[in-house]
Each structure stands twice: as structure tokens, then as C-alpha cells.
Amino acid sequence: MSEAVFRFAREPAACAGLVLLFLLLALALSAPLLWPLDPEAPSPAILLPPFVEAAHPLGTDRLGRDLLARLLAGARTSLLVAAAATAAALLAGGAIGLLAGFSGGFVDELAMRLAEAFQVVPGFLLALALVSVAGPGLGSTVAAIAAASWPAPARLLRAEVLKLRRADFVLAAIAAGLSRPEVALKEVLPNALPPVLPLAALLAAAAILVEAALAFLGLGDPNRPSWGAMIAEGRAVLVSAPWLALLPGAALVLSVLAVNLVGEGLAEALAPRRAAA
């Protein structure tokens, strides 16, 4: 494990991604302290460009709301949805994958067909349909993204179980009298984690983009500022105030880039040691 940390630390791109991600998290979490302006409070100073007035360093939107405060609030929404949806997808997918791999037979067959059924429906279309039926909101956004992304961790964990099931240490644990759930959780799961972490990063990056796209189409939580919704609002004044659409987009690119860089670093660091690479 410590070896993997060293390998991660040697990758400049991965480290840059990690620093960027921590910075974003810190900004998002400390937003109420750092910049306590209400992101929803209108002001008479409408459509102020960035870097003109110290009271609104990044300018204001059509209602005179502070863009910096809204960007920070958008970061909270984005990161919260990404974390929750990824955790839900990993938990649900992981549980189903473990179950399928250990049970085999009909349960395995059913789980895999279920995963495939979720994968043949375009992910964004599935999320769209679920949000449409459940109604827009933070919870339905998270659930919709998780529902569209659980098959990947399920397949991955199932494959790991099939690979590890015949491993000596697993056979030894079974011989020592551990029950099946114990073997699954204590022996197989920890050893199946290395490929899961990069996948988690991949899912989180996708979740940020899907949340933004849903909000862009007006299907996000109407009570929370979201980068996607801000881009949609900015589109109406694209010519006179392009920064309103450009800045939230830049924030999105940076966040997804940070998560992707961390994910690539993890994949590289946790990959099985190659012989004389």
C-alpha cells in the first residue's frame, strides 16, 4: 500500500489533480466563512463584469446576485452530488457484484442481465427518465445518477470475486471455517479494492458532468445554485455578459479534470506490478 502511495506521489499530474481537488473541496466547504455573501440575494448592481468592483469580484448575474458566492455554492452542489451518487453506485453495485460472484448460477445470471439492462439504456436518458418521474431535486438527481452507474462497479467486483475465489488465501479462510459473508467482506473485498478506486474517480467525474447537464436542462434542484443551471441562465445573455456562462463552465472543467487526474494516478499507482516495465 505504501508503495502505491509513493508511486502516486511520483506522478506530477496526479499530485496536481489531488491538490486541485483538495483546493476545490476546501473552497466549497469553507464558502460560508470565506465569502459569506448569500448566493440567492439579489442586488441593484446587475450584470456587473468581473474584476470591476471589490464587493463583487467576479461580477453579478441578471438579478444582481454575486457570481463568486454562486460559484462556491455551485461547487458544494456539484461535489455533494458527485460524492453521494458515487458512494451509492459503489455500495449498490458492489453488493450486487459480490452477491453475483459468490452465488453463481441463477442469481449471477439474473444480476448480470439486470446490469446489462441498465447498460443498454443510454445513461443520461435513464437519469432523465428517472428525474422526470421522481420530480427534480437533490435526492432524485443523486438516485438517478447512481441508478445509471451501478453496473460498472457490479461487473468489476463480480470479476474480482471470480478471480479471487480460487486464490489460496480465500480457500484457506474457507477451510478455517469462515462463513461466506465473512469471506466476502473480510478476505475478498479488501483485495478487490485496487481497481475499484480508479473506477470511483471515473464515476465521480461522470456524476459531476451529469448533474451539470441535468441542471442545464432545468431538471436540477431548483433550490440550489448549480454550475449547469448557471450556464443555462448565462446563455440568455451570452453576447452581452459572456462571463456568466463561461466561468461556471471553467469551474466544471477544472473539477472534472482534477478528479480525472486523481483517477489516472490511482490507476497507475495501483496497477498490478508489471515484470520489468
Partner 1 sequence: MSPGLALARRRLAQAPAVLAIVITGGFLLLEAAPGDAVDAYVASLGGDAGFVRELRERWGLDRSVWTRFLLYLAGLVTGDLGVSLAFDRPVAELVLERLPITLALAAAATSLALLLGAGLGLLCGSRPGGLADRLASAFVLALNATPSFWLGIVLVLVFAVRLRWLPSAGIETIGAGYAGVARLLDVARHMVLPVLTLGLVYAALYARVLRAGMVEAWRSDFVRAARAKGLPRKRLVLAHVARNALVPLLTVLGLHGAAMVGGSVVVESLFAVPGLGRLAFEAVIARDHALLVGIVLVCALLVILLNLVVDLLYGRLDPRIELASERR
CB of 52 to partner 1, least distance (A): 21
Residue 83 in the binding site for partner 1 (CB under 8 A): no
Please select the residue that binds partner 1; options are 90, 143, 261, 262, rule is CB under 8 A.
261
Query: Partners of 66 in the beta sheet?
Result: 60
Give how far the C-alpha of residue 263 lies from the chain's centroid of Cα atoms, to the nearest Å. Answer: 11
Residue 113 in the binding site for partner 1 (CB under 8 A): yes
Residue 15 in the binding site for partner 1 (CB under 8 A): no
Footprint on residues 160-189 left by partner 1 (CB under 8 A): 162
Count of residues that interact with partner 1, criterion CB under 8 A: 50
C-alpha–C-alpha distance, residues 59 and 49, integer Å: 5
Residue 228 in the binding site for partner 1 (CB under 8 A): yes
Nearer to partner 1, 37 or 230 (CB): 230
Residue 216 in the binding site for partner 1 (CB under 8 A): yes
Residue 273 in the binding site for partner 1 (CB under 8 A): no
Nearer to partner 1, 37 or 161 (CB): 161
Sequence-distant (6+) residues with CB within 8 A of 114 are: 96
Residue 63 in the binding site for partner 1 (CB under 8 A): no
Q: Identify whether the C-beta of residue 157 lies closer than 8 Å to the C-beta of residue 95.
A: no
Alpha-carbon separation of residue 21 from 99, 122, 254 (angstroms): 33, 28, 9
Q: What share of the chain is helix, strand, coil (3-state, %, to 5)?
A: 75, 0, 25
CB of 7 to partner 1, least distance (A): 15
Q: Identify whether the C-beta of residue 94 lies closer than 8 Å to the C-beta of residue 153.
A: yes
C-alpha–C-alpha distance, residues 90 and 267, integer Å: 17
| Binding track over 125-164 against partner 1, x by CB under 8 A | xx-xxxxxxxx-------------------x---x--x--
CB of 64 to partner 1, least distance (A): 22
Sequence-distant (6+) residues with CB within 8 A of 49 are: 59, 241, 243
Provide DSSP, 12-36. Answer: HHHHHHHHHHHHHHHHHHHHHHH--
Nearer to partner 1, 37 or 206 (CB): 206
Task: Assign residue 14 a region (left: φ > 0; alpha: ψ between -120 and 50; beta: otherwise).
Answer: alpha
Nearer to partner 1, 37 or 244 (CB): 244
Q: End-to-end alpha-carbon separation of the chain, Å?
A: 19
Nearer to partner 1, 128 or 170 (CB): 128
Please select the residue that binds partner 1; options are 104, 122, 181, 222, rule is CB under 8 A.
122
Nearer to partner 1, 125 or 167 (CB): 125
Q: Which residues bind partner 1 (CB under 8 A)?
A: 113-114, 116-117, 119-126, 128-135, 155, 159, 162, 205, 209, 212-213, 216-219, 228, 231, 235, 238-239, 242, 245-246, 249, 252-257, 260-261, 274, 277
